[in-house]
Chains A and B, each alone.
Chain A
Amino acid sequence: MAGTIVTEELACTHCGARCRDQALSVGGDVFCCSGCKAVYELLHSAELSAYYGQATPPGIKPSAEDSSRFAYLDDPAVSRKLVDFSDGETDRVSFVIPQIHCASCVWLLENLYRLNPGISRSQVNFLRREVSIQFDPKIVTLRQLVEQLAKLGYEPRIRLEHFERVERRDPRRSLYLKVGVAGFCFANIMLLSFPDYLNARELEQTLFPLVFRIAMVILALPVLFYSASDYFRSSFYSLRSRMINIDVPLALGMAALFGRSIYDITINAGPGFLDSFSGLVFFLLLGKLFQDRTYERLSFDRDYKAYFPASITRRAGDSEISVPVTGLIVGDRIIVRNQEIVPADSILISGNGSIDYSFVTGESTPRPATSGAMVYAGGRQVGTTIELEVVKEVSQSYLTSLWNSATYAKDSRRSISTVADRFGKYFTAAVILIAAATAIFWLRRDVDIAINAVTAVLIVACPCALALSSPFVLGTAMRILGSQNFFLKNAAVVEAMATADTIVFDKTGTLTINEPERLTFDGAELSDEEIRLIKSLARHSTHPASRRIDAEFQAEPAAVREYAEESGMGISGLVNGRSVRLGRYSWAVDDTTASANGSQGEGSVTYLAIDGQLRGKFRMNNRYRAGIEETIRALRADYSLAVLSGDNAKERGRLTDLFGANTPLRFDQSPHDKLNAVDSIQSDGRRVLMIGDGLNDAGALKAATVGIAVSDQAINFTPACDGILEASQLHKLNKFLLLARASRNLILASIAISIFYNVIGLAFAASGHLSPLVSAILMPVSSVSVVLFATLGTRLAARRIGVS
Chain B
Amino acid sequence: MYVIVILLGASLLVATGFLLAFWWAVRSGQYDDTYTPALRVLFEEKSVPTDTENTTKPSSEIQHGG
Q: Which residues of A contact B (CB under 8 A)?
A: 29, 44, 47, 49-50, 52-54, 103, 106-107, 110-111, 113-114, 120-121, 123-128, 170, 172-173, 176-177, 180-181, 184, 188, 192, 206, 208, 211-212, 215, 296
Contact = CB atoms under 8 A, between A and B. Distances in A.
A125 B33 contact: yes
Contacts of B48: 110, 121, 123
A188 B64 CA distance: 55
Contacts of B49: 113, 120-121
A173 B30 CA distance: 10
18 contacts: A49-B62, A49-B63, A49-B64, A52-B64, A53-B66, A103-B39, A103-B43, A106-B36, A110-B47, A113-B49, A125-B32, A127-B36, A173-B31, A176-B26, A180-B22, A181-B19, A211-B8, A296-B35
B35 to A, nearest CB: 5
Interface residues of B, number: 36
B33 A127 contact: yes
Given A49-B61, A212-B8, 6 more contacts: A50-B45, A103-B42, A121-B48, A126-B35, A126-B39, A206-B1
B24 to A, nearest CB: 11
Contact of A180 (B23, B39, B64): B23
Contacts of A29: 64
Contacts of B23: 177, 180
A125 B34 CA distance: 9
A173 B19 contact: no
A122 to B, nearest CB: 8
A111 B31 contact: no
Contacts of B32: 125, 170, 172-173
Interface string B51-66: 0001001010111111
B12 interface: yes
Contacts of A124: 36
B57 A114 contact: yes
Contacts of B26: 173, 176-177, 180
Main SS class of interface, B: loop
Interface of B: 1, 4-5, 8, 12, 15, 18-19, 22-23, 26-27, 29, 31-33, 35-36, 39-40, 42-45, 47-49, 54, 57, 59, 61-66
Nearest to B61: A47
Given A53-B66, A180-B23, A215-B8, A120 B54 contact: yes
A127 B35 contact: yes
Nearest to A44: B64
A68 to B, nearest CB: 31
Nearest to B27: A173
B36 A113 contact: no
A44 B44 CA distance: 17
A296 B36 CA distance: 12
Contacts of A172: 31-32
A127 B33 CA distance: 8
Contacts of A111: 45, 47
B32 to A, nearest CB: 5
Contacts of A110: 40, 47-48
Contacts of A184: 15, 18-19
B37 to A, nearest CB: 9
Contacts of B12: 188, 215
A438 to B, nearest CB: 37
Contacts of A107: 43, 47
A125 B62 contact: no
A110 B45 CA distance: 11
A172 B4 CA distance: 38
B33 to A, nearest CB: 5
Contacts of B36: 106, 124-127
Contacts of B62: 49-50, 53
Contacts of B54: 113, 120
A208 B4 CA distance: 9
Nearest to A191: B11
Contacts of B40: 106, 110
Contacts of B65: 52-53
Contacts of B45: 50, 111
Contacts of A113: 49, 54
A52 B66 CA distance: 9
A176 B28 CA distance: 13
A177 B57 CA distance: 39
Contacts of A206: 1
A198 to B, nearest CB: 14
Contacts of B57: 47, 114
Contacts of A50: 43-45, 62
Contacts of A47: 57, 59, 61
Contacts of A208: 1, 4-5
A111 B46 CA distance: 9
Contacts of B15: 184, 188
B25 to A, nearest CB: 9
Contacts of B27: 173, 177
A180 B32 CA distance: 15
Contacts of B43: 50, 54, 103, 107
Contacts of A296: 35
Which 8 A-B pairs rank lowest in CB-CB distance, beginning with the nearest?
A: A110-B47, A50-B62, A126-B36, A103-B39, A49-B64, A125-B33, A184-B19, A176-B26
Nearest to B39: A103
Nearest to A109: B47
A123 B5 CA distance: 48
Contacts of A54: 42-43
